[in-house]
Amino acid sequence: MRAALLALALVVGCKVDKPDKQAPPPTPHATGSGSSAPGPVEELQPELPGAKQLQVRTKSDSQMTAIWCMDTSEGRDAVVKVADALRADGWTDVSTRGAADRFGVAANKGDVRFSGTIGGRDQACSGTLVITTLARLAAPIKIPPTTEPIR
């Protein structure tokens, strides 16, 4: 009887899962560089509904500016569309400001800040002009305390 229990314990202890039930092997991240550095802010540029991008200026991987033409003639409608698009895209702390023909909108996504001005006209735009800037915020500067008196 003991031999049968021992044999059963060995069989159960050595059981191997079928290949389809085993955990999949870990996959490497698709960054390609192997570094965990954040990508360019341009990758976070939200799609603006009813807008045509007229120009993009990428100053660096951490800052870009884009000029859009929205298909609305009212700045108030454009600021609502932009704010709704930001919220839908996962941006937080979305805020709007302004009145009449000039509006602004701001939002955050991680360490990236979105800032937009809405209103105005341009020959290339028959609707409402929207200028957006995305900037990666730098880590705050930490100034060590000093024991020297301030003069």
Q: Which of 123, 132, 72 is nearest to 104 (CA)?
A: 132
What is the tens place of the pLDDT at every residue in 77-132? 999 999 999 999 999 999 999 987 899 999 999 999 999 999 987 889 999 999 99
List C-alpha distances in Å: 30 to 34, 35, 36, 46, 129. 9, 11, 11, 22, 36
pLDDT band at 55 (very low <50, low <70, confident <90, very high): very high
CB neighbourhood size of 137 (10 A): 11
pLDDT of residue 138: 77
pLDDT band at 22 (very low <50, low <70, confident <90, very high): very low
Do residues 46 and 89 make contact, with C-beta atoms less than 8 angstroms apart?
A: yes
Whether residue 82 contacts residue 74, with contact meaning beta carbons closer than 8 Å, is answered with: no
Q: Give residue-wise pLDDT tens across range 58-68.
A: 878 889 999 99
Of the candidates 96, 147, 85, the residue with the CA atom closest to the CA atom of residue 119: 96
79 by Cβ neighbours in 10 Å (0-12 / 13-18 / 19+) ranks as: buried
pTM: 0.65
